[in-house]
Structure 1
Amino acid sequence: MTSKEVPDKNKANGLYFRDGKCRIDYILVYRKSNPQTEKREVFERNIRAEGLQMEKESSLTNSDIIFVKLHAPWEVLGKYAELMNVRMPFRPFNPFNAGAPCILVRCCFLNGHFIEINGRSRRSRRKIYYLHRRYKFMNRIEKQISRFRGWLPRKPMKLDKETLPDLEENDCYTAPFSQQRIHHFIIHNKDTFFNNATRSRIVHHILQRVKYEEGKNKIGLNRLLSNGSYEAAFPLHEGSYRSKNSIRTHGAENHRHLLYECWASWGVWYKYQPLDLVRRYFGEKIGLYFAWLGWYTGMLFPAAFIGLFVFLYGVTTLNHCQVSKEVCQATDIIMCPICDKYCPFMRLSDSCVYAKVTHLFDNGATVFFAVFMAVWATVFLEFWKRRRAVIAYDWDLIDWEEEEEEIRPQFEAKYSKKERMNPISGKPEPYQAFADKCSRLIVSASGIFFMICVVIAAVFGIVIYRVVTVSTFAAFKWALIRNNSQVATTGTAVCINFCIIMLLNVLYEKVALFLTNLEQPRTESEWENSFTLKMFLFQFVNLNSSTFYIAFFLGRFTGHPGAYLRLINRWRLEECHPSGCLIDLCMQMGIIMVLKQTWNNFMELGYPLIQNWWTRRKLRQEYGTQRKTSFPQWEKDYNLQPMNAYGLFDEYLEMILQFGFTTIFVAAFPLAPLLALLNNIIEIRLDAYKFVTQWRRPLASRAKDIGIWYGILEGIGILSVITNAFVIAVTSDFIPRLVYAYKYGPCAGQGEAGQKCMVGYVNASLSVFLVSDFENRSEPTSNGSEFSGSPLKYCRYRDYRDPPHSPVPYGYTLQFWHVLAARLAFIIVFEHLVFCIKHLISYLIPDLPKDLRDRMRREKYLIQEMMYEAELERLQKERKERKKNGKSYHNEWP
């Protein structure tokens, strides 16, 4: 291709200025009719003063829309790359053989030069180390599944290496860019030395610090976007993600096309993610998110398998369960009404189905599964630290520190008059006084407390709804609802709770944003961490408060027939079903988990798809039948949906809340890991498809870990141990059954435990109530004559209380105190045992793999050795030069 044809091709693809030479690094969009003309003019004039080149273009579909194309020339890129400590690949200087051709090696700075350490590039050594570990593990897996090759997809769990490019700029060591040492960096072409993601990041850094009005707070692109001066600002995608030609025969058109074929396509759901390419195109922060999501999904496989095994164990042992047998055969046991007046007496055998369903989740394997999941959470976090260390080494993030982060423009503008010396860099920087910071944190903490009280008030409203509607459903005309009033109450309460959760989430976002900006965090990472913590607290309490109520409060403080505890001295508190409260907890978790994930998946992909489809439809109607491919790239990207204003927050939050559901109440719902696994297999490709095809290209940014989310995961892991201990001890019937088997059953004192030892358990767990002792406002309208032909004299209820004719009527029995003591003992033993196992595993699993740690130590050792040798050589050269000049220095070393 001739030099004249290259600009013509560049102009055609919509990624360059009209001259076909200047690459578009950033796009700003505004409307002519917008009144903020003066601010834009000042802003654009200051942009030109910073050295950026600008070109404007009207939209092909709407002449009111103007696209401002920005290009950063080499001088501007070099200046700001040095200020931002952008790490770039370099050609090291070899002081021991200056005339020899230089190779890509591990190096360090010394006396203004790069010093060679060893003869293999750091990247290639990292790649060999990482691939060796991966393929050694995968070879073992493939040997086990080789017999099933007939039905497995082609090349399962492998990347298509032939379609992936060799990312050359990653195959060497990097260092912060320096214009003084520019001759050491590998610059084949100044136009391509900084890749597209880096160029856009540099331009965004400039735009965030350009003034649009004279004044200390009148700076930054974000403010212009918020006040409507500009409609949008984004870097361009590298072209279309589709091609007429096959990627295997003609290769990829661009990196976006390659990502779509090898990552975002639904047909490659069973393959590894090309994380290096994701990192190159979207940046390290997004790359780390997908690395974490892939690791989390892979770790869910053993948890889902064990959870399914626990459920199937319940299915296989259902016919042998003595408790469910007794419940189904108890036609002569009449239970007291579960609500005032309208709820009828009922046979215990009517809850046979619920007793069997409860056994599926509450069986002998539940305790084992709770311990397993607590250990699993620890193993997951510990091995993720090792995985993250390998990724950080592979992506050259080991040396990247938070000191390299820039101060937020809003912080600079707010505290520009107060400066102090940075103890690390030695440069003056804006400073926030301690008193000012404390006062802002106190106000923010008060706001958080108030919003949590709002959540508790919402839960209180759900409780009132449950206690009111259970009587309403009991008096319903439809027999189906009347006979299942408690299930109907629970189901509708969960759905209403879900709607309240969705509505409150909108309010939480605005409050969290206001409180975070009020705190004035110093850096972007501090802002993200503060905002993330607030939003997580709000949404976690919002999502789980009703679940905590059902698990630990429902049916626990209701009193007993004849002396019910009431809400506001009016409404009788809700009781558990005769089969127990665990079925309510399972319904709450199952419905919320399914609805939440379905809603999230729709909002993540369905909503952008509908929006983009509607935009294309309007364009076809207004612009005629011309195909979409005729539009320039900036027009195509403008018609896509913008990424969430808070970056990856929504993606992380969805997975973290799912992790909470998977671990916190897993003893009550063993199928939660399986549902999470199925969702995440879809989630990875759904997120990939969304990033590549439905969203504008996000700004690439660096990060060395997943930030504050790791600490939140650790907190959830600790909370899960406590909640599962209480679920098993308080919510399930595991402890009462154990006490009965060893103390009160037919095997008491024999040290045995089995189904034969549970004979008579149901009768022993029910107390007797004299019907004539009912309060007037709770006396049922039915007298129970339909059961025996005459009015009932006695009914039964779940509790351990003395009969009405005992010396202390309705007082607690000795069995109650034995069960209570066993529950408390179980909680203490379970928590201490599991925490000991967690700490032991955490201690035994090092944060760094041994091979990686040895390589890092080896590099450090070689750096010190070569620095010493280089200094020694410098002194020897100086000695020779002095000898030539006739100077004597008998006392000089060496």
Structure 2
Amino acid sequence: MSVHPTFKDGKRLIDFILVYKLSALVTEELETKFKRFISTIEILGLEYESESFTADEDVIFIKIHAPVKVILIYAEIFDIGLAYKNFEFRPYRKKPGTWFATPLTRPNIYDPIYTRAPEAFSGDIPNYIITSERIMVVNQILRRVVWGDRQSEYGLHRLIKYKILTDAFPLHDGNYQWTTTGPLNDRQLLAMYWGSFSCWHKKQPLNLIDKYFGTEYALYFAWVGMYIKYLIPAAVLSTLVLLYGFFTMYTDLNYQSHAICKTRIVMCPRCHFKQCPVEALSNSCYMANINYIFDNWCAVIFSAIMSLWATVFMELWQREESILEFQWNLKNVKHSLILRPEFIEVAKHKKYCPITDKMHPYIPKIKITTRYVVTIASLALLLFIVILATFGVMVYHVAVHEAMAKSYSFPIVTDRYRNMIGSFSGAILTGIFIFIFKAIYGKVAILLNDMENHRTQHSYNSAFIYKCYALAFANNYSAAFYIAFFKGKFYSYPGDLEQFNYLGGIQTDICDPTGCLIDLAILLIIIMIFRAIGSNFSQLFKPKLKKRMLQKTYKINDLNAIPQWENEYLLPKSEDFFMIEEYTDMVIQYGFVNFFIMGFPLAPILALLNNISELRVDALKVTKNFRRPIPVKVAGLGAWFAILQATTYIGVVTNALVIAFTSGFMEKVLYSNLYSKRDSYFNVTLSIE
């Protein structure tokens, strides 16, 4: 008996599940269209079997099976390369050490478990049509089924849009729960040896991930795995930098902080109301000591090393990607030039193409230009709103500082920790805004991309990626860029009352006398922790909560008592742009590691800890908590590679600018070389003369 879900005969594999409700076919027209859809898929060679939902007889499941001869015919038509027909060789990869290995990455033919799934454990090229390829072929067929008389009445997506069908999804290769006897399916193996937190230090079974989920998922997890690997030396260096700063904090190397702690200099008030308190420079003693941990000669060298690290990492990834292309037979995979059905619907005009010697549909340039103008204007408006929110947080920081300066109830707070409280609360507010805008701009990007109506799926995906990243860039980095390069730069002198009445007093938002690096570090710590906790929490518990709610709605007490397709019907859908969201989060984090490493040496450590957890959460999610996605074959990272390269180049520039303008390291070095009196450094740099 097959370990995969089958028809009632126990032989024919279930490739796809369609769901409809009897009550939805309320009119004769809808019922006619539904029957025409069913008859068309039969004509195309697909076989089906219907079965009602045990918890609700109104819900009907249609199980779809494609015979081997149908798969072979349509795989050729849709240019889907079948592994057993197209593989030439698979290059040898060195096996990992015992501590890093699992039975999937270091198989042992004498292990009893090997005989339960020899194809998966051996990692050999499949000699049959695998389930992911079957799903790809059936999905392409269903996307093109004509079921109506109008030009737009075709395809699975339209059936769901018109509510003739309520759902459609491919099935996993059986249940993920481990069994002690009998054959094992690929889902069980991935859940045991990949989607488990106990495997956090284990090498990923990339060949099996590619076989089960397709190359789009496999390349993402391969990139994340390599990113984690190269974060380890960066995190070690980061730890050494922090330890150096900590252990030399109270030595003569930190003479500037000692001077601040001992000085009797009194700073002019920053606020303009009557009885505004003056501030002793010695109040910044603890800030100066913390600042030294991040701002010393060792941190400057580390910043330079990290710029080189990012460049080397990208070069080594290109090498790894080339190996994976050979390993998964992707050299012949090309970007699909098949026109999108949505484009064909709108493109009413046709013109002659001398290359193909055929008439091709097209959209007039005036319409395309108009849509792009709307897109650019909409993106500009969204970016302006994000920047406005950042501006609002800065004004909030000024207001908090002033409110605490007026308070006499807590003199310690109003005197010594005023700036720290404002920075922490402002950073938390920024983190909240980032999550709110993330939920909004993703949906807006989809609407704008749909409006542009790109010709091919490749151009559609690339345009969506660039929109998402542009908005995420502004959303996540605007506050950090403000603190790093603009905060305090517009302040003129104490007593300039006009600046307090201009733009909410943002000109008075200045750094602590010891510099802005602490504010930058606080912001980045809060954002990275917010992102890590929020992302992992939502990915772990949100799908479980949704499934539990549906289970209660249908009054299902025992999930093991219902068929697999009913169980997976209760699971959340695998979103179309799931990979784009995952890439966006990871590339934004890669930017945090690169852009501000001088002001935040902790970034590699936090990134490493988060990514180890994130990888296993993602693996657990796709194997256990979500429906199986439609596998996609891609030749590489595509648009993401260009974005990663741009991020690397920007990181080199921003780190240099942070050292030059935000850090006080260069000023201190120049002053020490030009003047012999160390004690007068702050007396000179903080003077208005």
Q: What letter matches 1:664 in structure 2?
A: F
Deviations 1:14-64 (A, max 9, x none): 822223332211011223333574453443343333232222211111222
Residue 489 of structure 2 corresponds to residue 545 of structure 1: no
Given the alignment, which residue of 162, 165, 171 partners 2:118?
165
Residue number in structure 1 paired with 2:657: 726
Q: Secondary structure in 1 aligned to 2:425?
A: helix
Q: What is the 5 A alignment of 1:821-860?
A: none
Q: Secondary structure in 1 aligned to 2:82?
A: strand
Structure 2 CA distance for partners of 1:326 and 1:66, relative to 1, 3 Å: same
TM-score with structure 2 setting the length: 0.91
Given the alignment, which residue of 740, 744, 754 partners 2:671?
740
Q: What is the 5 A alignment of 1:381-460?
A: 381-402=314-335, 404-415=336-347, 417-418=349-350, 420-421=352-353, 423=355, 429-460=360-391
Structure 2 CA distance for partners of 1:575 and 1:606, relative to 1, 3 Å: same
CA distance in 2 between counterparts of 1:446 and 1:547 reads 25
Residue number in structure 1 paired with 2:502: 568
Q: What letter matches 1:655 in structure 2?
A: M
Preserved contact between residue 157 and residue 271 of structure 1 (Cα < 8 Å):
no
Residue number in structure 1 paired with 2:431: 498
Residue number in structure 2 paired with 1:761: 681
Deviations 1:431-477 (A, max 9, x none): 34444433332332222222212212222222222222221122233
Q: What is the 5 A alignment of 1:174-213?
A: 193-213=128-148
Q: Secondary structure in 1 aligned to 2:207?
A: helix
Structure 2 CA distance for partners of 1:604 and 1:567, relative to 1, 3 Å: farther
CA distance in 2 between counterparts of 1:155 and 1:515 reads 45
Q: Secondary structure in 2 aligned to 1:28?
A: strand
**Aligned-pair RMSD on alpha carbons?**
2.6
Q: What is the 5 A alignment of 1:118-157?
A: 122-123=88-89, 126-128=90-92, 131=93, 134-135=94-95, 153=99
Preserved contact between residue 408 and residue 524 of structure 1 (Cα < 8 Å):
yes
Q: Secondary structure in 1 aligned to 2:621?
A: helix
Residue number in structure 2 paired with 1:583: 518
Preserved contact between residue 558 and residue 566 of structure 1 (Cα < 8 Å):
no
Q: Secondary structure in 2 aligned to 1:55?
A: strand
Preserved contact between residue 80 and residue 137 of structure 2 (Cα < 8 Å):
no
Q: What letter matches 2:444 in structure 1?
A: V
Preserved contact between residue 27 and residue 70 of structure 1 (Cα < 8 Å):
yes
CA distance in 2 between counterparts of 1:426 and 1:241 reads 51
Residue number in structure 1 paired with 2:63: 69
Deviations 1:218-257 (A, max 9, x none): 3222233345433321111111111341xxxx47521111
- Displacement of 1:343 in angstroms is 4.5
CA distance in 1 between counterparts of 2:406 and 2:459 reads 56
Q: What is the 5 A alignment of 1:47-58?
A: 47-58=41-52
Deviations 1:185-233 (A, max 9, x none): x7xxxxxx42211111111111111234322223222233345433321
Q: What is the 5 A alignment of 1:242-321?
A: 242-245=177-180, 250=181, 253-320=184-251, 321=254
Residue 622 of structure 2 corresponds to residue 691 of structure 1: yes
Residue number in structure 2 paired with 1:710: 641
- Displacement of 1:585 in angstroms is 0.7
CA distance in 1 between counterparts of 2:357 and 2:412 reads 76
CA distance in 2 between counterparts of 1:169 and 1:520 reads 44
- Displacement of 1:323 in angstroms is 0.6
Preserved contact between residue 265 and residue 280 of structure 2 (Cα < 8 Å):
yes
Aligned residue-pair number: 671
Residue number in structure 1 paired with 2:458: 525
- Displacement of 1:268 in angstroms is 1.7
Residue 530 of structure 2 corresponds to residue 595 of structure 1: yes
Preserved contact between residue 122 and residue 171 of structure 1 (Cα < 8 Å):
no
Q: What letter matches 1:73 in structure 2?
A: P
Preserved contact between residue 239 and residue 256 of structure 1 (Cα < 8 Å):
yes
CA distance in 2 between counterparts of 1:437 and 1:167 reads 48
Preserved contact between residue 462 and residue 497 of structure 1 (Cα < 8 Å):
yes
CA distance in 2 between counterparts of 1:338 and 1:430 reads 65
Q: What is the 5 A alignment of 1:321-340?
A: 321-330=254-263, 332-340=264-272
Q: Secondary structure in 1 aligned to 2:48?
A: strand
Q: What residue ranges of structure 2 are gaps of 5+ in the alignment?
A: 109-113
Q: Secondary structure in 2 aligned to 1:64?
A: strand
- Displacement of 1:401 in angstroms is 1.6
Structure 2 CA distance for partners of 1:763 and 1:421, relative to 1, 3 Å: same
Preserved contact between residue 104 and residue 120 of structure 2 (Cα < 8 Å):
no
Structure 2 CA distance for partners of 1:387 and 1:33, relative to 1, 3 Å: same
Q: Secondary structure in 2 aligned to 1:33?
A: helix
Q: What letter matches 1:689 in structure 2?
A: L
Larger Rg: 1
Q: Secondary structure in 1 aligned to 2:588?
A: helix
- Displacement of 1:560 in angstroms is 0.6
Given the alignment, which residue of 583, 600, 604 partners 2:539?
604
Structure 2 CA distance for partners of 1:205 and 1:155, relative to 1, 3 Å: closer
Preserved contact between residue 336 and residue 346 of structure 1 (Cα < 8 Å):
yes
Structure 2 CA distance for partners of 1:18 and 1:415, relative to 1, 3 Å: same
CA distance in 2 between counterparts of 1:499 and 1:388 reads 36
Structure 2 CA distance for partners of 1:422 and 1:221, relative to 1, 3 Å: farther
- Displacement of 1:618 in angstroms is 5.4
Preserved contact between residue 641 and residue 694 of structure 1 (Cα < 8 Å):
yes
Residue 387 of structure 2 corresponds to residue 467 of structure 1: no
- Displacement of 1:617 in angstroms is 5.3
Residue number in structure 2 paired with 1:29: 19
CA distance in 1 between counterparts of 2:351 and 2:118 reads 47
CA distance in 1 between counterparts of 2:57 and 2:669 reads 77
- Displacement of 1:422 in angstroms is 7.8
Preserved contact between residue 473 and residue 488 of structure 1 (Cα < 8 Å):
no
Higher relative contact order (CA 8 A, sep 6+): 2
Comparing 250-259 and 533-542, the one that deviates more: 250-259
Identity across matched positions, percent: 33
Q: Secondary structure in 2 aligned to 1:319?
A: coil
Structure 2 CA distance for partners of 1:251 and 1:540, relative to 1, 3 Å: farther
Residue 33 of structure 2 corresponds to residue 80 of structure 1: no
CA distance in 2 between counterparts of 1:422 and 1:256 reads 48
Residue number in structure 1 paired with 2:111: none
Preserved contact between residue 15 and residue 23 of structure 1 (Cα < 8 Å):
yes
- Displacement of 1:554 in angstroms is 1.1
Q: Secondary structure in 1 aligned to 2:460?
A: helix
- Displacement of 1:324 in angstroms is 0.8
Given the alignment, which residue of 371, 376, 381 partners 2:309?
376
Residue number in structure 2 paired with 1:18: 8
Q: What letter matches 1:607 in structure 2?
A: K
CA distance in 2 between counterparts of 1:692 and 1:414 reads 38
Deviations 1:861-890 (A, max 9, x none): xxxxxxxxxxxxxxxxxxxxxxxxxxxxxx
- Displacement of 1:88 in angstroms is 2.9
Structure 2 CA distance for partners of 1:257 and 1:400, relative to 1, 3 Å: same
Q: What letter matches 1:127 in structure 2?
A: P
Preserved contact between residue 552 and residue 727 of structure 1 (Cα < 8 Å):
yes
Q: What letter matches 1:705 in structure 2?
A: G
Q: What is the 5 A alignment of 1:759-838?
A: 759-767=679-687, 801-802=688-689
Preserved contact between residue 582 and residue 668 of structure 1 (Cα < 8 Å):
yes
Q: What letter matches 1:764 in structure 2?
A: V
CA distance in 1 between counterparts of 2:437 and 2:348 reads 37
